[in-house]
Amino acid sequence: MAEELKVIVFTLAQEEYGIEVDKVRTIERLVPITRVPKTPEFVKGVINLRGIVIPVIDLRGRFGLAETELTDNSRIIIVAANELEVGFIVDSANDVMDVMSDAIENPPEVLGGIKAKYISGVAKIGENRLLILLNLIEVLNRNEIIQLEQFGE
């Protein structure tokens, strides 16, 4: 029997993505971000969220998509991966959705210019809606996690 997977749905460049609900700590409106020198371009800096310093990544930059102006719909999704909390800047965070495991297929090699290693699968929702499921372990690969952990110290 197919299992149900709960995901937070967010958008980047008109595409819908999903992150498993149990990996998401909170979704925040944009707050001031303090720039950190000598970091990759997609690392926007750190925020102070209720007394915790959290590194913030622009997912558009991480995936090599064109960056755009942030809007009132832009959000920071705080995720937890490998005991590290990181904020992802996204265009909007819309929804929580149940996805059946049998509706999830392996990702194609490249999807909208995003390398397959960043994607854990693609879920078919209804007739013509696709949801790209992120592989958080690769989005925050080991070397970058080490760099980000140094911010928090």
What is the model's pTM?
0.86
Q: Please tell me which residue, 152 or 67, carries the higher pLDDT value.
A: 67
What span, in angstroms and rounded, lies between the C-alpha atoms of 132 and 96?
A: 14
Q: Which of 145, 139, 37, 133 is nearest to 88 (CA)?
A: 139
Calculate the average pLDDT of the chain. 85
Which residues constitute the domain of residue 57? Answer: 4-152
Q: Which two tokens stand for residue 73?
A: 């719909």
Looking up residue 84, the CATH number of its domain turns out to be 2.40.50.180
Q: Which of 12-26, 89-103, 135-149 has the lowest mean pLDDT?
A: 135-149
- The one-letter amino acid code at 130 reads L
Domain count, the chain: 1
**In this model, does residue 118 exceed pLDDT 60?**
yes
What span, in angstroms and rounded, lies between the C-alpha atoms of 8 and 27?
A: 10
pLDDT, tens digit (0-9, with 9 covering 90-100), for 10-37: 999 888 999 999 999 999 999 999 998 8
Question: Is the CA virtual torsion 55, 144, 111, 97 positive or negative?
Answer: negative
